[in-house]
Structure 1
Amino acid sequence: MALLLLNRRPILPYLPAWLPEASLIVLTAKSALTGPWPCPPEECFTRLVTVDDYASAEVDELIDTLCADEDVERVITTAEIDVVRAARARERHGLPGQTVAGALAYRDKYRMKALAARQGVPVPPMALVRDTGELRSFAAVHGLPVVVKPADGAGSVGVRVLRDHRAVGECELPGDGTWLAERFVDGVVCHVDGLMAKGEVLHGIASRYLHANLDTATHGAPSISGMLTPSDPLADRLAGATAAVVAALPAVEEVTAFHAEFFHMPDDGLLLCEIACRPGGCGIVEAYELATGVNLYAAHLRGQAGLPVGVPDRDGARSRYGWAWFPPRRGMLRHLPAACPLPRAHRFAAYGVVGTSYQGPGSSTDSVAELIFRVDGGEEVEPQLRAVEDWWSGEALWETG
């Protein structure tokens, strides 16, 4: 079986073990060529092609060339940037897998939420806007604050919160993209991560963030999340909400990873934030594997390839985990801890450079250090997340202007 992997994740050394049945043709961002490798990279795959600019049009041309030259049977991916790109390649070459319509439903947030709302899933008030006038009209109808963002964005890049009419009037929208305006939602952001197929959720684990991704991307708040215990009533409600969203969108026939986000409102309601048809970022894959024994990248790739996938039991989780990605602040980094002394710390890595000036986070996934930790199922999750933030705040020192 000849598989074409489109890749910008640092997962390449693991692929021979994850997909031993396949002949792997890999088209990857050069930045993803990290080790350690079981063999020289060019010897691990049938063909390895690297590019410097993974977002360029050159990648689409290379996809077509590789599909034709290597008799590719499936195109597989792990990253948001490749969801629609891969679907269009499948359509051009008559290959099985997620369709363009399905890919767009998971990438275009307006289309996603419109389809979900038609099936009764609660979503925030929203509209597509082309200019400041349309944005002003939206704010007049739905009130302030207003969130404006790229309809196909990721990692909270390009998201702005407009809190008064002056900010709305001064907000310039570049004409090279589609912009989504939404009524700002003030709620706790929760997420569900797992596997789906044929319009149904096969397995999922519910978690909650301490801070919203937008606060991480715009204000440098740590991205900290922990899994909810199965006995938490919110976990069951999030599972039901996720199942409703997956059922409302075009079904992906193959086993596919998903990352769904919801707002838990002060009135106890749930609103859909967004859902993606790929593994979640930051520490989600590692935490999920520690809890279930299943690697979401491996399962996602094997599913897209049409190969057998080991799905965890619906109630199966060996234990609960959380993770923290600590973003750079604007200023000079003066001190980083070398280790994490918290009693439930599992893995800590610091890779920021002391003495270096940073410009703050560029997205919600930027970081100078990361932590994976166990969650005590007998305690509330939020205090455990705050304990992680308190430790980091006392250890990481920044010199700001």
Structure 2
Amino acid sequence: MPKVLLLSRQPLATRPLQKWLDRTADDIVLVTTPKAVAGSEQVLADCFPHHRLVPDYHSWSAEQAAEEAAREHDVDLVASTSESDVLRAARLRARLGLPGQDGASASAYRDKVVMKQLAAAAGIPVPAFAAVDSPADLLDFIDVQGFPVVVKPRLGAGAEGVSILRDAADVSAFLGRQRSSDVPYLPGQWMAECFVTGEFFHVDGIMRDGRIVHAWPSQYNGGLAERIRDELHMSSVLLAPEDERTTMLMRMAAEVVAALPGAALPLAFHLEAWIGQDGVPVLCEIGSRAGGALVAETYESAFGIHLAREGLRAQCGADLALDAQPAAPATAVGWILLPPGHGTFVPPAEPCPVPGAEVTTLLEPGTQRHGVEHVTDAAASALVRAGTAESVRRRLTELTEWWHENTAWR
């Protein structure tokens, strides 16, 4: 196994890297945070003796510390576990002269303007869009396209910072949030695009060198920005093999992966798209990492492959456990995130009675919450299996009704 510099801010308690990777003590130089290893100090000492703890993970100094560690240990590869590390990992590879996803590929999979420019040039449908480097850019776009308009960070993830502008008052509100925004109001940071009406889908899998190795599409129950705004549950169901949208979305995913600069080593990917009344898929975005929420666990139930684990192992030079496209999922499966409410959490007193549902409560009884804070924020999550995709949808509806009838926020 090659020696790998691994960037990860994921807690070792929930992302057991020592179990996912081979020979970690000798071959992995882990760059992480004190918070990520809290409670796992012995695992860190035993499995990652060549670690570097950085207190401010997203700072420039952390990237400098990562390069120093890479040079000290003469690493062969750079790997990462989060979307926020994709660009810095590419920069490190360039500085160190190492293989893997390079800057052009990383930018295409992170910067939504670059991404959509490349997709549009390849003939893939995308919403009308524009970079927003000043207030005038936003106002010019609205003058041409009209309302509603979506404004989002170009390097954002998980619908964070996304605003839907429906009138002039919304524009003023967006511009007025400059001082409180986590994303600076500076050139290269923001974009605008037309609001798309349609059903929302995602395609997940493994890609390599500009082609898909294996993948499968799923359907969300709604938009992610709307989930945060309206504090709704979020769910997704794998599409059936015979669903005509399965073929349509798989074709689109292949076209998008071919249109963007590839990487020789395999990477997980997560693509999102709408399908409107005209039946044409429209690209929302694609990331060169595994999907969040329970996407990886759902894929594992269907195909035996945990996408986050498989993608990380591939970055570290391991062979793929699955290297061909399955004809169909082994079982119909979906997932759901049930939202936190407002008040003190009182969970259901009895287990969930819905067949095929595996519910995990994520909050302790008595926890105080004030609604949904980010797209994957949840009081409980569940995987749901059934004989067909339609049966999974029905069971998700039953589970949601049971949860709301038996959960209190006092």
> If the length of structure 1 is used for normalisation, what is the TM-score?
0.92
Q: Which amino acid aligns with 1:327?
A: P
SS at match of 1:47: coil
Deviation at 1:148, TM superposition (A): 0.4
Q: Which one of the candidate residues 23, 32, 36 is aligned to 1:32?
A: 36
Q: 1:52, 1:373 → 2: CA distance?
A: 38
Q: Which one of the candidate residues 283, 290, 299 is aligned to 1:288?
A: 299
Q: Is the 8 A contact 2:112 2:154 kept in 1?
A: yes
Superposed, which structure 2 residues align to 1:1-400 within 5 Å?
Answer: 1-10=2-11, 12-20=15-23, 23-33=27-37, 40-172=43-175, 174-176=184-186, 178-311=189-322, 313-314=324-325, 315-329=327-341, 331-337=342-348, 339-345=351-357, 347-377=358-388, 379=390, 382-399=393-410
TM-aligned CA distance change 1:126 to 1:197, over 3 Å:
same
SS at match of 1:40: helix
Q: Which amino acid aligns with 2:406?
A: E
TM-aligned CA distance change 1:344 to 1:110, over 3 Å:
same
Instruction: Report the count of equivalent residues.
Output: 396
Deviation at 1:136, TM superposition (A): 1.9
Q: 1:201, 1:230 → 2: CA distance?
A: 17
Q: Is the 8 A contact 1:13 1:36 kept in 2?
A: no
> If the length of structure 2 is used for normalisation, what is the TM-score?
0.90
Map Cα deviations across residues 106-134 of structure 1 (whole Å, 9 max, x no partner).
00011101100100110001101123332
Deviation at 1:16, TM superposition (A): 4.5
TM-aligned CA distance change 1:334 to 1:76, over 3 Å:
closer
Q: Which blocks of at least 5 consecutive residues in structure 1 are unaligned? A: none
Q: Is the 8 A contact 2:129 2:191 kept in 1?
A: yes
Deviation at 1:380, TM superposition (A): 6.0
TM-aligned CA distance change 1:228 to 1:220, over 3 Å:
same
Map Cα deviations across residues 198-222 of structure 1 (whole Å, 9 max, x no partner).
1001111110111211122222111
Q: 1:25, 1:98 → 2: CA distance?
A: 19
Deviation at 1:50, TM superposition (A): 2.6
Deviation at 1:46, TM superposition (A): 4.0
Q: Which amino acid aligns with 1:321?
A: V
Q: 1:76, 1:248 → 2: CA distance?
A: 23
Q: Which amino acid aligns with 2:331?
A: S
| Greater than 6 Å deviation, 4+ residue runs | 34-37
Q: 1:198, 1:378 → 2: CA distance?
A: 32
TM-aligned CA distance change 1:189 to 1:384, over 3 Å:
farther
TM-aligned CA distance change 1:215 to 1:96, over 3 Å:
same
Deviation at 1:316, TM superposition (A): 5.0
TM-aligned CA distance change 1:388 to 1:312, over 3 Å:
farther
- Please, what is the CA RMSD of the aligned residues? 2.1
Q: 1:81, 1:250 → 2: CA distance?
A: 19
Q: Which moved more, 1:80-89 or 1:389-398?
A: 389-398
SS at match of 2:390: coil
